[in-house]
Structure 1
Amino acid sequence: MSFWDNLKDKVAGMNASLQTSVSKFKNAEFANGCMAMCALIASADGSISGQEKGKIATLISVNETLKIFPAAELKTKFDFFCDKLTADYDFGRIEAIQAIGKLKSKPDQARAVIQIGIIIGGADGNFDDDEKKAVKAACAAVGIAPSDFDL
């Protein structure tokens, strides 16, 4: 089995796992962490294009895991983190990582945010090194080994 086929299988498993337990994650910290993770993936190459932002916004709106939140609320949070990353990438990255790090004491939610990052990163068929680096930084923020996700 190729790396890509293996990744697709794992992403499908992650998505199914998230959907069965996500209702207990309906809180502001989880929503912030998810949108911070999505913004980190969007900016993984150092910038966020309008097209890239639109694609991720679309993925957010159709992701079964995130349907527990109002779409407008998620868009506002996503735009907030994207704006921070666009205005000053380094400080925006720190702020996004801090938002994710707030889930460190909630391992199930922290893992779900990491899984969402992997799902969003691989959605275009190319989970590139920059996206993996962003997910690894998020793993470090919540104290989860990247190897738990084969990164």
Structure 2
Amino acid sequence: MAFSNRLVSPASPQTDPPGPPPGPRNELWGETFRDAALGMCAVLAATDGRVDPAARMRIAQMAGAHEVLQRQSSDDLRNLFEDNCARLIMDPAFGHAYVMAQIAKATERPEQARAVVRIGLIVGRIEGELDAHALTVIREACQVLRLDPHEFGV
């Protein structure tokens, strides 16, 4: 699993998720972005108080391959993602509110907020088209991040 040990084959097809602008590493793309992005991944992985193991693995691989997130410790990424998933499973209402608060951390940085929504769109389409759950989550994230969902076609 690429998320935990970064064994992603260079030959495997990957979607290039959004990241920071080109140039030197932008230190603003740190914990705030990580927390918001992994919150988005977890809330999209959780449907009806459960997280499908196959979806969890696909989402974890995508997050582990993300150009900004891969700069973080893989253990930290895995632990944060798993913690968010556990919260969503143990108490769906409280877990959802907690994860939305994690997503809201990116509100003050519009570029990061937009990147979080784009990650949500990529994760939501892992299975094909955006389903009703993914659309609802992405629209709610847009509201929390003070972004217009129409900007993203949702």
**TM-score relative to the length of structure 1:** 0.81
Alpha-carbon separation, structure 2, partners of 1:148 and 1:70 = 32
Stretch of structure 1 that moved more, 137-146 or 48-57: 48-57
CA contact (8 A) 1:18 1:112 kept: yes
Task: Name the structure 1 match of 2:70.
Answer: 67
| Runs of 5+ consecutive residues of structure 1 not aligned to the other structure | 1-11
The alignment status of 1:30 with 2:39, answered yes or no, reads no
| CA spacing shift, 1:19–1:28, aligned 2, 3 Å | closer
CA contact (8 A) 2:19 2:66 kept: no
Alpha-carbon separation, structure 1, partners of 2:139 and 2:72 = 25
What's the RMSD between the two structures over aligned residues?
2.1
Count of residue correspondences: 138
Shift of 1:144: 0.3
| CA spacing shift, 1:78–1:48, aligned 2, 3 Å | same
Amino acid aligned to 1:150: G
Task: Name the structure 2 match of 1:53.
Answer: 56
CA contact (8 A) 1:18 1:65 kept: yes
Map 1:132-147 → 2, pairs under 5 A: 132-147=135-150
| CA spacing shift, 1:125–1:69, aligned 2, 3 Å | same
Partner residue of 2:99 out of 96, 100, 111: 96
Alpha-carbon separation, structure 2, partners of 1:44 and 1:21 = 35
CA contact (8 A) 1:44 1:131 kept: no
| CA spacing shift, 1:135–1:93, aligned 2, 3 Å | same
Match of 1:40, SS? helix
Deviation beyond 3 Å, 4+ runs, structure 1: 19-23
Alpha-carbon separation, structure 1, partners of 2:138 and 2:131 = 11
Alpha-carbon separation, structure 2, partners of 1:127 and 1:139 = 15
Alpha-carbon separation, structure 2, partners of 1:21 and 1:114 = 19
| Runs of 5+ consecutive residues of structure 2 not aligned to the other structure | 1-14
Alpha-carbon separation, structure 2, partners of 1:88 and 1:21 = 40
Shift of 1:19: 5.3
Task: Name the structure 2 match of 1:18.
Answer: 19
Match of 1:115, SS? helix
Amino acid aligned to 1:83: A
| CA spacing shift, 1:144–1:121, aligned 2, 3 Å | same
